Amino acid sequence: MNALWTSDEIATATGGMAGAAFSASGVAFDSREIEPGHLFVALKGESTDGHLFVEQAFARGASGALVSQPAQHPHVLVPDTMRGLEALGIASRARATGRIAGITGSVGKTGTKEALRLALERSAPGRVHASVKSYNNHTGVPLSLARMPADSCYGVFEMGMNHAGELAALTRLVRPHVAVVTWIASAHREFFASEEAIADAKGEIFEGLEPGGTAIIPFDSPHRDRLIGHARPHAGKIVTFGSGEGADVRASHVGTGREGGSLISAELGGRTLTFSVGMAGAHWVNNALAVIAAVDALGGDLAAAGLALADLKGLPGRGARRRISIGGEAALLIDESYNANPASMAAALRVLGETPATGRKIAVLGAMRELGPGSDEYHAGLADAVLASGAAHALVVGPEMAALASALGSGIDVRHLADAAAAEQALRDLIGAGDVVLVKGSNSVGLGRLVASLSDDGVES
């Protein structure tokens, strides 16, 4: 197997000085993620300095390091390792010959990125590179670029932001041939005056499009025309997706599929594609249409993409379903613990409502963060969705959830809990046979730890 990078290539890309020669099979800036043969990038952060972990990285098998101070191991010395990582990402993009997709949105970014990766992988096995986890910010995007093999047929990159101007910088690194906006919703409202301002910031993704590139936009979004306005100066082609009449990639029929998934007939360019999506929820119909639009724009195999979507399973924290057993009582856990905003919370509650249960339905809902002055209103506004889900019990976690607890009143058994540990104990005391449990909240609330603890008692389905 060819090396991902040699020390000479790293030095040329970054303008650094190479010591002893080495080659690298991967790149990481977290020493705990280093595998034998990897390049360790010693980043300096607000709370720590990666140079403190150089020895640990080499103990784990690193072949070399990118550093801004001399090391006793093979390394490339640069003035600034963050700038060095960006330069390595730029060099990786410059040598790439495959087709590149960039994805952003207020909700659905990671799920759509993973679905697109799998859809492309079905016809190009082993030749699709994609961002891992949610590496979608100013450090994660250049890292993901730097990890891309030069001979990849496709690259799929997630890009996130919580301030205006951030996506413009990221998309100019990625330089996508196809740029996708999944949906616009009130996320990170602490930093934006309006949802329209969020749409403007998401529209920055089109600024990095390669000449003749394709912008893919949600047709049913109230911000569709605003996004089209942002895309028009940069895109060679604009494609919309959705269920409304006039969408370029349109769901003409949606039926019920296996295990809560959907059977979709989609019209695109005079063609009809009928396929299933394995994930539950109407929001996954939207995500699947975005994937189909992107595969088509990238020149991929639509039939193979349809097969991949049918096999799609939930990601940890983003819809994964686990069978758990607590005190001998078997229940179904829907893991949506990674993050939350009003739109994604409502979508998850709809999935809970659509999931059959022989026992009760229980909603464990963590606070939604970064919502700004309207936080109480957004939290209280979830009451109708909670009641419509059919949940018999709502365990709401964090101080921000006081507004929802008050709004629910006596219409449901609601318990307002201080933290994830208290929620776990309450759930363990409450759960019974045949129950369906939804866990959803902002990542900082820590409900992922609750899911991990409960999952130790059961087996993922």
Q: Which residue, of 262, 288, 310, is where some domain finishes?
A: 310
Are 349 and 394 members of one domain?
yes
Taking 80 as the threshold, does the pLDDT of residue 458 lie above it? Answer: no
Are 63 and 173 members of one domain?
no
Does some domain include residue 89?
no
Are 209 and 339 members of one domain?
no
Q: How far is CA 145 from CA 131, 208, 250, 323, 412, in A?
A: 8, 15, 32, 36, 48
- Where residue 398 falls (left for φ over 0; alpha for ψ -120 to 50; beta otherwise) is left
- As a whole number of angstroms, the distance between CA 393 and CA 365 comes to 11
Does some domain include residue 233?
yes
Mean pLDDT value of segment 86-115:
96
Are 216 and 356 members of one domain?
no
Q: 197-201, 315-319, 391-395, 420-424: lowest mean pLDDT where? A: 315-319
Residue with tokens 């929802």: 404
| pLDDT category of residue 193 using cuts at 50, 70 and 90 | confident
SS3 48: coil
Q: What are phi and psi of 430, to 5 degrees?
A: -95, -35
Residue 410 C-alpha from the chain's centroid: 36
Cβ contacts of 433 within 8 Å, gap of 6 or more: 329, 330, 331, 358, 359
Mean pLDDT value of segment 336-344:
90
Q: Which residue, of 278, 310, 342, is where some domain finishes?
A: 310
| Positions of E strands within 196-236 | 214-218
- The answer to whether 80 and 43 have CB atoms below 8 angstroms apart is no
Are 193 and 253 members of one domain?
yes
Are 158 and 283 members of one domain?
yes
- As a whole number of angstroms, the distance between CA 355 and CA 164 comes to 38
| pLDDT category of residue 28 using cuts at 50, 70 and 90 | very high
Pairing of strands 154-158, 99-104: parallel
Taking 80 as the threshold, does the pLDDT of residue 256 lie above it? Answer: yes
Are 122 and 155 members of one domain?
yes
Are 277 and 327 members of one domain?
no
Does some domain include residue 90?
no
The 10s digit of each residue's pLDDT in 158-179 is 999 988 999 999 999 999 999 9
Does some domain include residue 87?
no
- Convert 436-448 into a string of H (helix), E (strand) and C (coil): EEEEECCHHHCHH
Mean pLDDT for all residues in the chain: 93
- CATH code for position 229: 3.40.1190.10
State the residue range of the domain holding 235: 96-310
Are 208 and 347 members of one domain?
no
| pLDDT category of residue 457 using cuts at 50, 70 and 90 | low
Number of independent structural domains in the chain = 3
Does some domain include residue 88?
no
Taking 50 as the threshold, does the pLDDT of residue 460 lie above it? Answer: no
The closest alpha carbon to 176, from 131, 219, 220, 223, belongs to 131
Pairing of strands 17-18, 75-77: antiparallel
Q: What six digits make up the tokens of 258? A: 């296996």
SS3 99: strand
Q: Which residue, of 310, 341, 363, is where some domain finishes?
A: 310
Are 435 and 415 members of one domain?
yes
Are 113 and 167 members of one domain?
yes
Helix (H) or strand (E) run with residue 88 in it: helix 81-95
Does some domain include residue 85?
no
Mean pLDDT value of segment 339-355:
92
The 10s digit of each residue's pLDDT in 276-329 is 999 888 899 999 999 999 999 999 999 999 999 999 887 888 888 889 887 777
- CATH code for position 418: 3.90.190.20
Are 174 and 100 members of one domain?
yes
